Amino acid sequence: MRFATLLSVFVFALSIAASCEAAVAKPKPKTTQTKTQPSAQTLKSIGRKDINVLVLCYDPVLKTQGNLKLHEYMHWSDPYKLTLKLIEDLREASYGYVNYHVVEIIEYDGYPTKRNGFTYDEKTFLEVLKDPKKAVRGTTGFAHMFKQFDLEKKIKEKNIGEIWLWGSPWFDWDELHWKIPGDKIPYQTDNPWFYRPYDIPDIGKTIWIMGFSYERGEGEALEDFCHRIESVMSLTVGKGIWDHKRNGNNPWVKFTRIDRDFPGESEVGSCHEAPNSDGGYDWNNMREVWTYADDWLTYPNLPRKKKLLNAETGGWKGIVGHHMWFMKHIPHSPGVTDGFYNNWWEYIVNYDEAIKKLPPPGATFQKAKVAMYAGD
């Protein structure tokens, strides 16, 4: 087992220092302190949430390819630069509320082990890169990952709230995973994708594991986070249901209306669909539609003022443009409405504290009957 430890800390402003040193012992990453300057108005209104992150990057050194790291050999994105950009984007999109701090980095010279026990080596993985049909099926084993990297101890010692994975296609993890103590979700749901604990160990607090890919870019990393928003909002404000026919007047469900389904009455939309999208990933559509999207900037005050917008005039053009626009429209005002925080970011990044201080109305907090458990 070989690790590489990041010796230089991130510089969270203009550049990144990303030199790594190989080691055979347990990694000894340096603590990173990120400094952010949210506006005084933001601090006064919704405050600021600081979240400690452990970055676990599977980036094997290819001995048969000039000792290049996998992401270098494939000419893919730099995972550390993407990490920095994602932190900056989320701070901006949440109006200064979300402040991530990378407190430890583990760069692993190897491949993740699946739940079935299989682990690629350099030869077998390079064959998969040439012929994807040779990929071995099976999802990453989180129980094994926690044991291998002593993650529970690190989480408790450094008050880590999230683990950000970086890796390649065929490493077989989801865009997001989260484990709630006892799997006790607020409201039951019939959609298994809302809650994805898999075989993540129960460590007594909610832990998020984001599954990023350095094959992709900033937009796809943001998309992972947008899907996280959809999951947690559906299980909190959405009360376990995300269906316009079943609970269309629910604030979260209403937030996701698009013109295709509600002509002339669109709101913000979802991760894959903007107000004027004709289908999934249609973020560049120049068809003008009437939308209430900007009403949500002042939620719970919804003035019901329509605007005639398209991808260009609305500001949601392109994958990065859309996902930032979508997140900036997430309600973020102080206060409470109908038993839920007006600042929905409370649920997205501060779940445990949010539901403890303000239990959702009618919540049962029972073990999820439908979820992406291990073996699914």
Mean pLDDT by runs of 10 across the 376 residues of the chain is 42 35 34 38 68 99 99 99 99 98 99 98 99 97 99 99 99 98 99 98 99 99 99 99 97 99 98 99 98 98 98 99 99 97 98 98 98 82
Do 205 and 324 belong to one domain? no
Q: Among 183, 218, 253, give the residue marking a domain's end.
A: 218
* Sign for the pseudo-dihedral over CA of 253, 254, 256, 261: positive
Do 213 and 306 belong to one domain? no
Distance CA(54)–CA(74), nearest Å, equals 25
Do 137 and 199 belong to one domain? yes
Do 148 and 10 belong to one domain? yes
The pLDDT assigned to 260 comes to 98
* Sign for the pseudo-dihedral over CA of 297, 299, 305, 309: positive
Do 316 and 175 belong to one domain? no
Nearest CA-CA partner of 78 in 144, 155, 18: 18
350 in any annotated domain: no
The pLDDT assigned to 4 comes to 47
- SS3 at position 162: strand
119 in any annotated domain: yes
Do 150 and 195 belong to one domain? yes
Distance CA(23)–CA(185), nearest Å, equals 41
Do 21 and 135 belong to one domain? yes
The pLDDT assigned to 319 comes to 99
374 in any annotated domain: no
363 in any annotated domain: no
The pLDDT assigned to 31 comes to 36
| H or E element at residue 332 | strand 332-337
Do 153 and 297 belong to one domain? no
287 in any annotated domain: yes
Tokens (6 digits) for 287? 């068809």
Nearest CA-CA partner of 62 in 120, 142, 144, 6: 120
The number of folded domains in the chain is: 2
| H or E element at residue 212 | strand 207-213
Do 44 and 158 belong to one domain? yes
Do 309 and 177 belong to one domain? no
89 in any annotated domain: yes
Distance CA(227)–CA(91), nearest Å, equals 17
The pLDDT assigned to 47 comes to 87
Do 178 and 249 belong to one domain? no
Residue 158 CB burial class (10 angstroms; 0-12, 13-18, ≥19)? middle
The pLDDT assigned to 45 comes to 53
* Sign for the pseudo-dihedral over CA of 187, 252, 206, 341: negative
Give the structural domain span for 291: 244-343
Its pTM stands at 0.90
Do 320 and 182 belong to one domain? no
* Matching residue, tokens 């010279």: 109
25 in any annotated domain: yes
Are the C-beta atoms of 98 and 53 separated by less than 8 Å? no
227 in any annotated domain: no
